Amino acid sequence: MPRTGKFPLAFRTVSALAVGALTLAVTSACAHATTSSTSDPASASGTSSGTPASTLRLGYFANVTHSTAIAEVTNGTLAKDLGSTTLDTSIYTAGPTEMTALLGGQLDAAYVGPSSALSAWTKSDKQGLTIVAGAETGGAELVVDSSITSAAQLKGTTIADPQLGNTQDVALRYWLKEQGYATTLQGGGDVTVQPEANATTLTLFKEGKIQGAWLPEPWASRLVVEGKGHVLVDEKSLWPNGQFATTNLVVSTAYLDAHPQTVAELLDAQIATNTWILANASAAQTLISGAIKKLTGSTITSAEIQRAWSEESVTNDPLVSSLQTSLSHAVSDGLLKKTSLTGIFDLTLLNQELTKAGESTVPTS
């Protein structure tokens, strides 16, 4: 696929790319919402009645950890729910680049890891984006060479992750620090942290040029299956009850304020899609692995998609409390400064649409 303008990691797709015959039978309602500002971190500055947008420019990754976005775009559910609003999609390979596009006015909404969203929010003086929903939990692991069986063997090794400052980069650097290793943002220290495109990481791992990588699915599973590596750290083991946000849905705050009806339609499509994914695991795996092949040209084997699927789960819950931990880790890594998270979440529309769909609402704190 052709590369887009200023952002070489983004590949343009269009909603007409629908590749599956698996179409959700969903009727989505449009919604207008009004909310007031509070001190609750899960409430932002609020939304207005607004008007439907002419276009929704949506970014996401061709990863299993973005199953919600892949499914709702591929089977046409999102385009259907948007009605007269045109859907324009872009595929990214890492969160910081995607957030640069959002803050630069190239995107209206994006599925992205919490650390990347948090960084973009602080860089925009807490005005550029709002987290309006969760999308994925789990699905990130540190996979290493079979000769490495403990953290004590990592000194002097090179470990990759998707991009400096992305969610897995923050997690890797923090974990290494807890093991007593020093790292630098420039790649120095006891362990070299080497940000790479995920496909490049797989190649380097197979060639023995790096000793491991902290990656989201399906890339962690590809390192295990194709690269003959093994899991040294499953990130779920580091979080209470194994729950942490891997992917959230963020919207440009200006877009949310101007077009809450369109954002509600996006949420309607997500809610219906997640319900379908959870009830139809086999069909969802087929749909998503096929879409990833079309988007990237790379095939995920049956063993890889099955393994990846078992490591993650879709969710509408952004797991609000986990973001404070993500912030603390980024501060410890030297990537961000301490700050209040008040205003980064607005779950008003999400809970409104969940209620309309007969689903349980999510906690706002």
What is the CB neighbour count within 10 angstroms for residue 246? 30
322 Cβ contact list (under 8 Å, min separation 6): 114, 239, 243, 244, 245
Given pLDDT bands bounded at 50, 70 and 90, which one contains residue 42?
low
Euclidean distance between CA atoms 179 and 193, whole angstroms: 14
Residue 39 pLDDT more than 60?
A: no
Architecture of domain 3-138+243-356: 3-Layer(aba) Sandwich (3.40)
Domains of the chain, residue spans: 3-138+243-356, 140-242
Q: What share of the chain has pLDDT > 70, as a percent? A: 87
Residue 20 burial (10 A CB sphere; 0-12, 13-18, 19+): middle
Residue 47 pLDDT more than 90?
A: no
**Average pLDDT estimate for 276-289:** 97
Specify the pTM: 0.87
Would you state the structure tokens that stand for residue 35, as one six-digit string? 């909310």
Going by their DSSP bridges, the two strands 158-161 and 192-195 should be labelled as parallel
Euclidean distance between CA atoms 166 and 95, whole angstroms: 6
Which residue has tokens 């979440």? 345
Residue 5 pLDDT more than 60?
A: no
Would you say domain 140-242 falls under CATH 3.40.190.10?
yes
Residue 82 pLDDT more than 70?
A: yes
Type of residue at 24: L
Apex 97 CA angle, 288 and 68, nearest 5 = 25
Q: How confident is the model over 196-220, as pLDDT tens digits?
A: 999 999 999 999 999 999 999 999 9
Euclidean distance between CA atoms 363 and 249, whole angstroms: 16
Given pLDDT bands bounded at 50, 70 and 90, which one contains residue 51?
confident
Of 2 and 143, which is predicted with more confidence?
143
User: Where is 6: in which H helix or E strand?
Assistant: none
Residue 237 burial (10 A CB sphere; 0-12, 13-18, 19+): exposed
Give me the half-sphere count of Cα atoms (radius 13 Å) on the Cβ side of residue 317.
Answer: 16
3-class secondary-structure state, position 300 = coil
